A and B are shown apart, each in its own frame.
Chain A
């Protein structure tokens, strides 16, 4: 990246090391579950695995932007239900899939904009604001669905989440395209640098004229837009819109992002880490299902993973600063 480095010995930065460890864990987990269940390695299962974590990929990438600014977005799971509802209802009333897509994404952005304005402009706590919209969006979803699911049969609307090319779900190349687009946004545009600056030091970034308050608004709108896209994928997967979809999704996303090495305190982390974090997390959860682990234990295991990662991060952070 830089041409003026004077050191000639190749050194691993903290994050590169983290990615190697994650890759290692992904390999170990795959081998382990493969030994426990021969179905784990089937192409079909791989397709199922990727499709089941496609939504987590999308939402976690948005969450990465949010957490790079030192914030948090608890509303994404409810937002998936709400924006999905808006999309499905638009589809059923107009019969137009593109209009349904647009409505879902715009609805997601609207919830994001509420978060963004309260957090970025009015400087309220991200935790409290998104906790409020977490309840608010779920409530809106229940109201517009009237608490019932709506079946969807429009082939165009279901294409993104439901169709596979052989064993490869269509949504996976879509996730790759989103990842590349967001990477360019984060690493190669002034906006992306502003994201890091706002998270590293809001005050400095303000004094330097980087308008961090404006950056924060757009970050939450982006997170909302990705929730809207996730809603379309979710509806496609199950061929219906459901008011309780996206439940606990924010928990999974936060865990995956932290697992991927993004700092809770902002300013540090990369999208690649989140991709690896989602993969590892997805393999573990999927593996637990395939090996017939008691489903009630899954939540316990998820909680233990999050606690372990946070503990590990805090230890390594303390090691660095002392």
Chain B
């Protein structure tokens, strides 16, 4: 029995932004439909409409030709639609079977006691059906992320779901777990399950999907059978050709080599990565999430040891895992990717937040010279055009953009030689972004070497003097300004042309 779901003419606007523009999308049981697009293309909005999380402004949804209304997540579940998110909704302290039967437990007759044996038996039957081995009595806390994903999916299937939406399901999986997931997906197809597969990994998409649909700016720009299209065509339709690629003016970089990374490897994170960075140069590492670049950057900053290969800084090798205190003393700075978690000190003032790394340099006889700190802080606030009522203001009252500027202003003093930036403009508005780009350029002009990790292709193009693309922890290619090719970079990031373990 085949089932199908059709979404026709779906439209959704958020204020002035057209998030979905008359989108048609369908899915048939027994098939994998891959959904692709850059950040903000409308994929998640479309899936939220399907999952009943948000309501669409126009359009209709039919299941097997019958019009349905999905006004809440409960409606979606009732229709057999299940969303598998990257963050699992399992309870760690319960067993696999208890999680699967959560909320609809089986009892021993009419007693208030649970029939654990029967629940375990039913779970085992389901697992067998898909060729999976997993002990239903194991607590979920002992499972790895691949196994947790399987439990989520089995739970969905056992509550009569026939359409499974998977959002970047392989991003946290090891090679072995990925292989098992693909096998599971093939079995589900054979059993008549429909799967919507959101991913950027081309080899995965062309390995398991029957249909691929590309979204851009809220519209469907390509929808083909995977046999009738190519990886290159998909990439090209993701970016579009009408976009003007801004390329920044050329600049001469004459500084000597500041940082030299040779054959750096850490299992499961990055493998055999080598590059060098000159003083005054902006080098951008880019890839998909999980490409290993943040781990690489943290290794260079001394936060993380346990790698092989060498990192030379100012001509001398750095010892692995030496701790950030040593790095800061040696002229390195880091702006982390998660401001609120490990970027700002929320209860403290703007002044304390900025001054922290300078304190030792502004002491006389062991005591802090308040006047010098005030001057430094005032200059930092001015240079970054941070908007704050006063330096005594607590930082938590500032906007995201201004908090981020403060994370930068800590490192603006003359001692800085290497600045490492992880997703420098994540979650901030366009004006603050422009200021941050200017700060980065100014630092580079002063001779600071800058290593950036960015997942935003437009930011990469705008900022970089040189770009290295990474795929699954390996460097794919290197591009020097102004020879940037957006399509080729995206293809590198998506693993086009790499041999993946997903082929049929």
A residues lining the B interface (CB < 8 Å): 1-7, 13, 184, 188-190, 193, 196-197, 199-201, 203-211, 263, 265-268
Chain B: minimal CB distance from A67 (Å): 13
Task: Please state if A197 and B356 are interface contacts (CB–CB under 8 Å).
Answer: yes
The digit string for B356-400, where 1 denotes a CB below 8 A from any CB of A, is: 110110010011101100100110010000000111100000000
Q: Which of B336-367 contact A (CB under 8 A)?
A: 336, 341-348, 351-352, 355-357, 359-360, 363, 366-367
- A11 CA to B371 CA in the complex, in Å? 22
Complex partner residue of A200 from B346, B357, B359, CB under 8 angstroms: B346
- A286 CA to B346 CA in the complex, in Å? 39
Task: Please state if A3 and B345 are interface contacts (CB–CB under 8 Å).
Answer: no
- A204 CA to B336 CA in the complex, in Å? 9
The digit string for B436-463, where 1 denotes a CB below 8 A from any CB of A, is: 0000000000000000000000000000
Task: Please state if B359 and A263 are interface contacts (CB–CB under 8 Å).
Answer: no
Chain A residue with minimal CB distance to B361?
A190
Complex partner residue of A2 from B303, B334, B390, CB under 8 angstroms: B390
Q: Which of B96-104, B322-330, B467-475 is the interface stretch?
A: B322-330
Which chain A positions have C-beta within 8 A of B410? 208
Not counting A1-B351, A193-B352, a sample of 9 additional A-B residue pairs whose C-beta atoms are within 8 angstroms of each other reads: A2-B391, A3-B378, A5-B389, A7-B389, A184-B367, A189-B367, A193-B359, A208-B324, A209-B325
Chain A: minimal CB distance from B386 (Å): 11
Tell me whether A2 and B374 are in contact in the complex, defined as CB-CB below 8 angstroms, given that A200-B347, A207-B342 are known contacts: yes
- A2 CA to B372 CA in the complex, in Å? 11
Chain A: minimal CB distance from B346 (Å): 6
Chain A residue with minimal CB distance to B411?
A208
Tell me whether A207 and B334 are in contact in the complex, defined as CB-CB below 8 angstroms, given that A201-B345, A263-B347, A267-B345 are known contacts: yes
- A200 CA to B325 CA in the complex, in Å? 18
Those 9 A-B pairs whose CB atoms lie nearest each other, nearest first: A209-B328, A200-B345, A267-B347, A203-B342, A5-B390, A190-B359, A209-B325, A209-B324, A4-B378
- A23 CA to B355 CA in the complex, in Å? 32
- A210 CA to B352 CA in the complex, in Å? 13
Chain B: minimal CB distance from A276 (Å): 20
B residues lining the A interface (CB < 8 Å): 303, 323-329, 334, 336, 341-348, 351-352, 355-357, 359-360, 363, 366-368, 370-371, 374, 377-378, 381, 389-392, 410
Chain A: minimal CB distance from B121 (Å): 42
Q: Can you sample 29 A-B contacts with CB below 8 Å?
A: A1-B351, A1-B392, A2-B377, A2-B390, A2-B391, A3-B374, A5-B391, A6-B389, A13-B392, A184-B367, A189-B366, A189-B367, A189-B368, A190-B368, A193-B355, A196-B352, A197-B345, A199-B347, A200-B347, A203-B341, A204-B342, A204-B344, A207-B336, A208-B328, A208-B357, A209-B323, A209-B327, A267-B345, A267-B346
- A6 CA to B341 CA in the complex, in Å? 29
Which chain A positions have C-beta within 8 A of B360? 190
- A184 CA to B368 CA in the complex, in Å? 10
- For chain A, what secondary structure do more than half of its interface residues adopt (helix, strand, loop), or is it mixed? loop
A-B Cβ contacts below 8 A, count:
102
Tell me whether A197 and B368 are in contact in the complex, defined as CB-CB below 8 angstroms, given that A4-B377, A4-B378 are known contacts: no
Chain A residue with minimal CB distance to B358?
A190
Which chain A positions have C-beta within 8 A of B336? 204, 207
Which chain B positions have C-beta within 8 A of A7? 389-390
Chain A residue with minimal CB distance to B375?
A3
Chain A residue with minimal CB distance to B379?
A4
Which chain B positions have C-beta within 8 A of A3? 371, 374, 378
- A13 CA to B326 CA in the complex, in Å? 36
Which chain A positions have C-beta within 8 A of B347? 199-200, 263, 265-268
Which chain A positions have C-beta within 8 A of B366? 189
Task: Please state if A5 and B346 are interface contacts (CB–CB under 8 Å).
Answer: no
Chain B residue with minimal CB distance to A210?
B356
Chain B residue with minimal CB distance to A203?
B342
Which chain A positions have C-beta within 8 A of B356? 193, 197, 205, 208, 210
Which chain A positions have C-beta within 8 A of B357? 208-210
Complex partner residue of A201 from B334, B344, B392, CB under 8 angstroms: B344
- A57 CA to B352 CA in the complex, in Å? 27
Chain B residue with minimal CB distance to A196?
B348
Complex partner residue of B390 from A4, A189, A207, A267, CB under 8 angstroms: A4
Which chain A positions have C-beta within 8 A of B391? 2, 4-5
Chain A: minimal CB distance from B54 (Å): 26
Chain B residue with minimal CB distance to A184?
B367
Task: Please state if A200 and B348 are interface contacts (CB–CB under 8 Å).
Answer: yes
Tell me whether A190 and B363 are in contact in the complex, defined as CB-CB below 8 angstroms, given that A201-B345, A208-B328, A209-B325 are known contacts: yes
- A197 CA to B366 CA in the complex, in Å? 18
- A193 CA to B355 CA in the complex, in Å? 9
Complex partner residue of A205 from B323, B345, B355, CB under 8 angstroms: B345
Chain A residue with minimal CB distance to B410?
A208
- A267 CA to B391 CA in the complex, in Å? 17
Chain A residue with minimal CB distance to B381?
A4
Chain A: minimal CB distance from B384 (Å): 14
- A210 CA to B334 CA in the complex, in Å? 13
Which chain B positions have C-beta within 8 A of A13? 392
Which chain B positions have C-beta within 8 A of A199? 347
Task: Please state if A211 and B325 are interface contacts (CB–CB under 8 Å).
Answer: yes
- A204 CA to B347 CA in the complex, in Å? 12
- A7 CA to B388 CA in the complex, in Å? 11
Chain B: minimal CB distance from A235 (Å): 33
Task: Please state if B368 and A267 are interface contacts (CB–CB under 8 Å).
Answer: no
Which chain A positions have C-beta within 8 A of B325? 209-211
Which chain B positions have C-beta within 8 A of A265? 347
Residue among A3, A265, A266 with most chain B CB within 10 A: A3
Task: Please state if B359 and A188 are interface contacts (CB–CB under 8 Å).
Answer: no
Chain B: minimal CB distance from A198 (Å): 9
Chain A residue with minimal CB distance to B366?
A189
Chain A residue with minimal CB distance to B407?
A204
